[in-house]
Structure 1
Amino acid sequence: MEIRFGKLSDVIVITDIFNFYIINTNARFEEQIFSYEDRLEWFQQFESNSKYQIYVVIENDSVLGFACSQPYRSISAFEGTVEVTVYLDENAKGKGVGSSLYSRLFVELEAQGVHRVLSGIALPNDASIALHKRFGFREVGVFNEYAQKNGKYISSIWLEKVLPLNLTL
């Protein structure tokens, strides 16, 4: 298993992974699948020397999943805060892939001087909540029935993680 920074050539598989969750779960609130072109535009935000990073796990030349950090809000007040997410191929769950991705991502975020990491998880999702809590996230609240998909209301738990202060800033 290899973890590396995401490449443009990974976008096809990343799009497929996203679309699996859109079609089969409430983890993504979109009701229409993503196009490859849409994800290409989204992918442009990631740079290895920034707070906005994306890592993929490769095994036997296949992408098993990805984890990324993105802007929480696009105003300067949230400059030290990122939102993170991890998505895995259905066959990669329960094998430590998510933990491996987050381990790498959080080391890089610390090096970039990120102060606070947020994650919103659509409920129910015990496995994702457990993963985040293993990495030191704490619950900050639940948005009850604040979104709707396929005629059903969805709630989300929000979690936060404080990264150690990087004194080189």
Structure 2
Amino acid sequence: MEVQVSPGDEADLAALTDIYNHYVRATAITFDVTPVTLGERRPWLLAHPEDGPHRLLVARDTRTGDGILGYATSSPFRPKAAYATSVETSIYLAPGAGGRGVGTLLYERLFAALRSEDVHRAYAGVTLPNEASIRLHERFGFERVGVYREVGRKFGVYHDVAWFEKRLE
């Protein structure tokens, strides 16, 4: 597999929305309970420019042309100004793309890009259980800093969310 990682753009919106909606419909990984439309997802895409601390990186299989394999983002952690040097990271892979190193490649490129930004900490919330996501975050130096117990209900079940933190300086 040959994977190219590049900034996401408007042409990727439908594929990115499809990947996200898979997790909305089939998992508790995201706490959205209703699939999002392209119009609802467009502001999210536009909030991740090609440069700066809030990025969207997309992985594509260039050998087979199978389209987008996944994406990683760094987004504002919280809206208040004092949080500006913190980001929340997330990663979503297309169904069937896990276990092939795509997530690792996306995070390698994302954290390399963030080195040149004024970012002090990265945070990630992981709905439990999700051993694959925990392993990925720990491999990149994230440490568990706490768990919100039964913070979200999806599919009639309450779910915990573990929070992870990574120093970026």
TM, length-normalised to structure 1: 0.95
SS at match of 1:90: coil
Matches of 2:71 and 2:51, distance apart in 1: 18
2:60 matches 1:58: yes
Aligned to 1:148: 153
- 91, 96, 100: which one pairs with 1:95? 100
- Percent of pairs with identical residues: 37
2:122 matches 1:117: yes
Q: Is the 8 A contact 1:49 1:112 kept in 2?
A: no
- 152, 157, 163: which one pairs with 2:162? 157
- 16, 20, 26: which one pairs with 1:14? 16
Q: Which amino acid in the other structure matches residue 155 of structure 2?
A: N
Equivalent positions of 1:30-69 (< 5 A) are: 30-59=32-61, 60-61=64-65, 62-69=67-74
2:108 matches 1:106: no
Give me the CA root mean square deviation: 0.8
Matches of 2:51 and 2:12, distance apart in 1: 19
Aligned to 1:77: 82
How far apart are residue 45 of structure 1 and its match?
0.5
Moved segments of 4+, more than 2 Å: none
Q: Which amino acid in the other structure matches residue 126 of structure 2?
A: I
SS at match of 1:111: coil
TM, length-normalised to structure 2: 0.95
Matches of 1:4 and 1:146, distance apart in 2: 34
How far apart are residue 7 of structure 1 and its match?
1.3
SS at match of 2:96: helix
Equivalent positions of 1:126-145 (< 5 A) are: 126-145=131-150
Matches of 1:47 and 1:6, distance apart in 2: 8
How far apart are residue 30 of structure 1 and its match?
1.1
Matches of 2:30 and 2:7, distance apart in 1: 23
How far apart are residue 42 of structure 1 and its match?
1.1
Consecutive unaligned residues in structure 1, runs of 5 or more: 165-169
Q: Which amino acid in the other structure matches residue 58 of structure 1?
A: R
